[in-house]
Amino acid sequence: MWAFIFLAIPVSFYLVVVIYPLVSSFYYSFTDWNGFSDTYNFVGLDNFERMKTDRLFRNAIENTVLWTAAAIVVPTTIGLLIALALHERGILSRVYKSLFYLPICLSLVVIGQVWIWIYQPGFGLINIVLKEIGLSQYMRAFLADPDTALQSVIAAWSWQQIATAMVIFLAGLTAVPKELTEAAEIDGAGYWRTVRHVIVPLLRPASIVVIALSVINSLKSFDILYMMTRGGPFHSSDNLAMMMYNESFQKYYMGYGSAVAVVLFLITLVVIIFYFRQQRGLEQLYD
Amino acid sequence: MTEATRAVSIPVDSASATSRRAPLSARLRTVILYLLLTALLILYSLPSIGVVLTSLKSNAEIGREGIWTLPDQASLENFRVAWETGNAQKYLLNSLKVTIPATVISILFGVLTGYALSKLSFPGSDSLFTFLVAGMFIPPQVVMIPLFRMFNRAGLYDTLWPMIIVHIGFGIPICTLVMKNFFSTIPTAIREAAVIDGANELRVLIRVMLPLSLPSLAVLATLQFTWIWNDFLWPVIFTRSDDARTIMFGLASLRGQYSVAYGTQSAMALIASVPTLVIFIFFQKYFIRGLTLGSVKG
């Protein structure tokens, strides 16, 4: 009785704001709704058929895959290295940790803004440095160049993601028994071999969380892309989320946009299933 | 080994407790490590340093020397411009109007669901828990179109309401997760004792459980406030006019308006970041605890 009273409002709220729209997205993906009219037609699988030949969709998929690949590799390795460097290094390391954590609390809008200035052709930091060290042939307008726009946005995005990964790895490191690492070093394993053969395997639970979080964030990423390139130039930095936004809220192909949203959801679902499989495997391993 | 160590180690840096008894080579290694870390930290903080420098410079100086030099004469003029002509005041107020109710209500909902699902469990409550938490993984873009239609029909387009409502809805998963996990750690006997004393469930929840759950509430408050404050997607979808702009949307649209006034933009970016920075500095412990949920226990 009380359980029902406590649950009624939150659960109804959740159903209306999260679940009903999720189901509706599937529904709209079979229509040609334009976003404004009250009527629309059912078009069956037309929207999904259209993806097969849509070069923008293909491009968005490729970019999303690149982003996801970067999300798996970059924050994980750099975050782990900084975490290792900061773990148990005396009182000073606490101050350093806080300073490294800082990007976590910043909005991606702010981060995008700042990184625009780093890439800026005239006074951007990267171009200034390239010029100073005599590599001026590599100077360019990084965000306005289709060859570098996406990679530049991903790098800026990783800046924050590295901090998140580091936090999680540092928490994971506190759970690594000191006796084990000391024993390995006494056996003459050396620091890097201890890291590779003792610490990294013990960090598996943390690594799975870092990778899953990073991949899911990469699939969602929109703010920073909107801020820095809006998917341009010439759609060269579009990901699925940005393409979906363009189709639905710029071109008003809400039906087609919904179909893209459905694809995005299915990709996320695969990641989540993989994540829970790994988690369950770990639980069995440790029980 | 220990004796030899003591003989050679001269306490140069007594602040570092762990290295007090380490051999000289190890201490040298620590020093080198810190030098490297400092270099890395400076590199890593360059973006943040850049904004602060720019915000203190006049536009003339930025035009002359770019943004990566120290200001000749630091001034707060940019902050005044952002505050008065850049509408920072209005946007901040809008952000607060969205963030505070959404944070409070989503946590309140999490308390209710978390308590019901852990202490008043019933057949199917575990599935309901999974169902409520699963929402955490849904990319917001997936539900963007139906929500747009829903709010349009309800006449709420271009108001602050859609953002409040959506943030509450999408906050339910994390709040349910944290609160249920917390309530599960409280012995059932505590609740039963109160119930035997004649208290009803609502009373037990408010009088007995809530005081115990302050740390978890703090974790959620820091996380939810930061996420909602920093959000940019929903304002883009649900608002159009200047009056309904949150600070993040205001900051983003400033970029289009005054594309050269870098000083104003930096000042605005800093103003927009102050609330989350303050929370981060003072409640870092809770923030970190929230971020590392589930990563340690495996």
Prediction ipTM score: 0.89
3-state secondary structure chain A: CHHHHHHHHHHHHHHHHHHHHHHHHHHHCCECCCCCCCCCCECCCHHHHHHHHCHHHHHHHHHHHHHHHHHHHHHHHHHHHHHHHHCCCCCHHHHHHHHHHHHHHCCHHHHHHHHHHHHCCCCCHHHHHHHHCCCHHHCCCCCCCCCCHHHHHHHHHHHHHHHHHHHHHHHHHHCCCHHHHHHHHHCCCCHHHHHHHHHHHHCHHHHHHHHHHHHHHHHHCCHHHHHHCCCCCCCCCCCHHHHHHHHHHHCCCHHHHHHHHHHHHHHHHHHHHHHHHHHHHHHHHHC
Indicate whether B36 belongs to any domain.
no
Contacts for B218 with CB less than 8 Å, ≥ 6 apart: B283, B286
Of residues A16, A90, A219, nearest to B18 (C-beta): A90
State the helix-helix crossing angle for B284-291 and A149-174, rounded to 10 degrees.
Answer: 100
Report CA-CA distances (Å) from A255 to A201, B11, B112, B229: 46, 71, 37, 31
Residues of chain A positioned with their CB less than 8 A from the CB of B169:
13-14, 16-18
**Mean pLDDT of all residues in A3-9:** 90
For B168-198, what is each residue's pLDDT tens digit? 999 999 999 999 999 998 888 888 888 888 8
pLDDT at position A135: 85
Q: Which domain holds residue B272?
A: 88-291
Residues of chain A positioned with their CB less than 8 A from the CB of B33:
85, 89
Residues of chain B positioned with their CB less than 8 A from the CB of A25:
142-143, 145-146
Residue of chain A whose alpha carbon sits nearest to that of B172: A14
Lowest mean pLDDT among A49-63, B24-38, B211-225: B24-38
Name the residue among A144, A121, A106, A128 with its Cα closest to residue A232.
A144
CA dist B70 and B247 (Å) reads 27
Q: Where are the domains of chain A?
A: 51-286
Pick among B144, B201, B226, B257 to test the A interface (most A CBs inside 10 A): B144
Residue of chain B whose alpha carbon sits nearest to that of A256: B145
Give the model's confidence band at B265: pLDDT under 50 very low, under 70 low, under 90 confident, else very high: confident
Contact assignment for B251 to A113 by CB distance below 8 Å: yes
How high does pLDDT run on average in chain B? 84
Contact assignment for A90 to B15 by CB distance below 8 Å: yes
Lowest mean pLDDT among B36-40, B51-55, B197-201, B207-211: B197-201
Using an 8 Å Cβ cutoff, are B243 and B89 in contact? no
Q: Which two tokens stand for residue B69?
A: 């030099």
CATH H-level, domain A51-286: superfamily: MetI-like (1.10.3720.10)
Residue of chain B whose alpha carbon sits nearest to that of A214: B137
Give the model's confidence band at A12: pLDDT under 50 very low, under 70 low, under 90 confident, else very high: very high
Residue of chain B whose alpha carbon sits nearest to that of A247: B145
Give the model's confidence band at B217: pLDDT under 50 very low, under 70 low, under 90 confident, else very high: very high
For B269-294, what is each residue's pLDDT tens digit? 999 999 999 998 888 888 888 888 75
Query: Residue B256: pLDDT above 70?
Result: no
For A232-286, what is each residue's pLDDT tens digit? 788 999 999 999 999 999 988 999 999 999 999 999 999 888 888 887 776 665 5
The torsion of the CA quartet B120, B121, B125, B131, rounded to 10 degrees, works out to 50
Q: Which two tokens stand for residue B82?
A: 């952002």
Contact assignment for B201 to A92 by CB distance below 8 Å: no
pLDDT at position B260: 54
pLDDT at position B10: 37
pLDDT at position B66: 78
Contact assignment for B284 to A171 by CB distance below 8 Å: no
Instruction: Identify the burial level of A136 via C-beta atoms within 10 angstroms of its C-beta, where 0-12 means exposed, 13-18 middle and 19 or more buried.
Output: exposed
Residues of chain A positioned with their CB less than 8 A from the CB of B230:
106-109
Contacts for B219 with CB less than 8 Å, ≥ 6 apart: B178, B286, B287, B289, B290
Min Cα separation A147/chain B (Å): 23
Indicate whether B57 belongs to any domain.
no
Residue with tokens 């040609």: A32
Of residues A13, A25, A175, nearest to B169 (C-beta): A13
- What's the CATH number where B162 sits? 1.10.3720.10
Residues of chain A positioned with their CB less than 8 A from the CB of B107:
none
Min Cα separation B32/chain A (Å): 11
Min Cα separation A226/chain B (Å): 9
Residue of chain B whose alpha carbon sits nearest to that of A218: B139
For A133-155, what is each residue's pLDDT tens digit? 888 888 888 888 898 999 999 99
For A158-216, what is each residue's pLDDT tens digit? 999 999 999 999 988 988 888 888 888 788 777 888 888 888 888 888 898 899 889 99
How many structural domains are present in chain B? 1
**Mean pLDDT of all residues in B120-136:** 90
Indicate whether B108 belongs to any domain.
yes
Residues of chain B positioned with their CB less than 8 A from the CB of A126:
none
Indicate whether B157 belongs to any domain.
yes
Min Cα separation B253/chain A (Å): 9
Residues of chain B positioned with their CB less than 8 A from the CB of A12:
none
Residues of chain A positioned with their CB less than 8 A from the CB of B19:
90
